[in-house]
Chain A
Amino acid sequence: MSKRRLLTGVVTTAALSALVTGATLSLFTDTAENNSNTFTAGTVDIDQVSTFTCSVEADNLAPGDSGTCTVEVTYEGTLDAWLGVTASTSGDLFGGANPLRVDLPAGVDVDGIRVLGQVSEGDTVVIEVDWEFPLEAGNEYQGKNGQVDLTVYAVQARNNTRNDGSGPISWN
């Protein structure tokens, strides 16, 4: 056996030995880093809805009375938002042939919610609710009561605005 063949034999044996013992191949590697990438979600937050303030006392109505009541809404979210409102009524004053009528501010309805407009952090919006107790209302309404529940909604404006800018695509 020549010296060269002997060396080849030794190398082959070493390689086989490495394979049998499960040795792994290694490569030069490195890693580059970009640190402290921050993702913070903003907020949509109606801070406060005030109680109603009315131009005419609403607790002693007579047929023919009408007036305007207002509430103030303060928005404290960090994201711009669409504000909307619904009103629901209950009580005998809202039943019968000549019920008390309540009108929300004029505007576009999206999914049954009246759009009030866009707000930013710190904005205060005044919602005016007009009401009228028809002159035609008869004695059947005497001593009756009624209640209006106003619900104010806010939803992010970014990525959620109709193409014509009239309101949100969705409220949720």
Chain B
Amino acid sequence: MKKGALLALAAAGAAAAVGAGATLALFTDSKTTALDFAASTLCITAERDEGDPVPGPMFYITPEQGGTPDGRNGINPTGLWAPGDKHSKTLTVYNPKSCSSQDAWLTSVQARLTEGVPNQYEAMADVLHVAVKAPWHGVDTVVGEGSLRQFLQGAVPIRYPDGSKIPLILTSNVQMKFEVTFDLDAGNEFQDKTLVVDFLVNAEQVRNNP
């Protein structure tokens, strides 16, 4: 009878504890594993080439005009333009690992009027023809062209002759050529006139974007 009384007391105690809101302590364990998401980056850069110090414009009239911000003169000035003149300059476009993490397509080229330049003679954009070239099967090949006006109006698509896109693999570069021709039929109204533009090369991710 004594043993039966003890069991009854224990059961009553447990019931009282639950009724009073006491917690039960159990042995447990858990593990957490993190899944981190990080978006890639696409970052391309461009510099003129042909031995010119960088940075600086591809096309410039005098060595001083083509100088770098730290005062090194450009070494390939075009001189003043005459109707019929044609000059080709190289723009090396990079996909550097320092800021990029994926392959890119070079998709288009556009131009814009350089800010802060007084007396821009925009009509000159109609008599300057721009041919953009990229290496294709080892030969510099036109991938996009038009009047400078067309480049100022919006992005001009660039594609290889077979319609395929131009790849710029991560850590590699593409040497693009910008060939500009001053229309031989340009009249006297263009004498002593100046137009200053920025050239922009646009890129897109390759992945999931065939």
B43 and A30 contacting across the interface, CB-CB below 8 Å: yes
Which residues 33-86 in A have Cβ within 8 Å of B in the complex? 33-45, 78-79
Which of A28, A31, A35, A160 gathers the greatest number of chain B CB atoms within 10 Å?
A: A28
Report chain A residues within 8 Å CB of B102: 28
B104 and A35 contacting across the interface, CB-CB below 8 Å: no
Instruction: Write the nearest CB–CB distance from A79 to chain B, whole angstroms.
Output: 5
Number of A residues, CB within 8 Å of B: 25
Which of B46, B82, B117, B192 gathers the greatest number of chain A CB atoms within 10 Å?
A: B82
When A29-B204, A34-B57 are in contact, do A42 and B198 touch as well, CB less than 8 Å?
no
Report chain A residues within 8 Å CB of B45: 32
CA distance A79 to B182 in the complex (A): 14
Interface residue A20 (Cβ < 8 Å from any Cβ of B): no
Interface residue A156 (Cβ < 8 Å from any Cβ of B): yes
Report chain A residues within 8 Å CB of B199: 33-34, 37
B104 and A42 contacting across the interface, CB-CB below 8 Å: no
B196 and A38 contacting across the interface, CB-CB below 8 Å: yes
B201 and A40 contacting across the interface, CB-CB below 8 Å: no
Of all chain A residues, the one with the shortest Cβ separation from B86 is: A159
Interface residue A27 (Cβ < 8 Å from any Cβ of B): yes
Interface residue A4 (Cβ < 8 Å from any Cβ of B): no
User: In the complex, which of the residues A28, A35, A41 contacts B41, with contact meaning CB atoms closer than 8 Å?
Assistant: A28
A37 and B197 contacting across the interface, CB-CB below 8 Å: yes
User: In the complex, which of the residues A31, A38, A45, A156 contacts B44, with contact meaning CB atoms closer than 8 Å?
Assistant: A31
B42 and A41 contacting across the interface, CB-CB below 8 Å: no
Interface residue A158 (Cβ < 8 Å from any Cβ of B): yes
Of all chain A residues, the one with the shortest Cβ separation from B187 is: A172
Which residues 155-210 in B have Cβ within 8 Å of A in the complex? 180, 182, 184, 186, 188, 190-205, 208-209
Interface residue B142 (Cβ < 8 Å from any Cβ of A): no
B84 and A160 contacting across the interface, CB-CB below 8 Å: yes
User: In the complex, which of the residues A29, A39, A44 contacts B180, with contact meaning CB atoms closer than 8 Å?
Assistant: A39
A40 and B193 contacting across the interface, CB-CB below 8 Å: yes
Which of B57, B65, B83 gathers the greatest number of chain A CB atoms within 10 Å?
A: B83
Which residues 41-93 in B have Cβ within 8 Å of A in the complex? 41-48, 57-61, 65, 79-85, 91, 93
Q: A39-B182, A43-B80 are in contact. List 16 more A-B contacts (CB 8 A).
A: A28-B40, A28-B204, A28-B205, A31-B203, A33-B46, A33-B200, A34-B57, A36-B60, A37-B58, A38-B65, A39-B81, A40-B61, A41-B80, A41-B191, A79-B80, A159-B184
Which B residues fall within an 8 A CB radius of A? 39-48, 57-61, 65, 79-85, 91, 93-94, 100, 102, 104, 114, 117, 124, 128, 180, 182, 184, 186, 188, 190-205, 208-209
Q: Provide a sorted-by-A list of 21 A–B residue pairs whose CB atoms are within 8 angstroms.
A: A27-B205, A30-B100, A31-B203, A33-B201, A34-B57, A34-B58, A34-B200, A36-B114, A36-B198, A39-B81, A40-B80, A40-B192, A40-B193, A41-B81, A41-B190, A42-B81, A42-B191, A44-B188, A159-B82, A159-B85, A159-B184
